[in-house]
Amino acid sequence: MHGVILWGDQDCERALIWCEDHGSLAFYKAPKNSTSVPLDFDAGDLVFFDVQEGDDLRLALNLSVVASEEYPFLVSKLRQAMSDGQAAQNETRHTQSTVVSLSEHSYSRCAGLEDEEKVFNIR
């Protein structure tokens, strides 16, 4: 499977990978008894790996870097999208609560159809 490294720790040879199938993130940890040369990876690198599904954990095995810095701005774009989404969600909550309070206020002032016609200029 292909993926993009979102976070990596070179010293511990660990990484968190966004997978091409947009499923769960995959976690990579170099094998303890590995005799291979340590991988040189960083956030934004395009990687290829085998997937092993575990107990609530998706593991990346046999990791190899396909292209360094292929997606250098992915992490910052994801952070921005999350921030924008939270802001929009907060704005929606505020707007909904404002509409509800205006609606409740308008109807509490309206005793009957005649009053509603005056408030909303309905003829």
Average pLDDT of the residues of the chain = 77
Q: Are residues 61 and 106 located together in one domain of the fold? A: no
Distance between CA atoms of residues 87 and 90, nearest Å:
5
| CATH code where residue 62 lies | 2.40.50.140
Who wins on pLDDT, 123 or 7?
A: 7
Q: How many domains does the chain fold into?
A: 2
Q: Are residues 25 and 52 located together in one domain of the fold? A: yes
Query: 26 pLDDT exceeds 60?
Result: yes
pTM here is 0.64
Reported as a single tens digit per residue, the pLDDT across 93-117 is: 655 544 443 444 444 434 444 444 4
Boundary residue ending a domain (50, 67, 84) = 67
Which range of residues forms the domain containing residue 111?
Answer: 74-120
pLDDT for position 107: 40
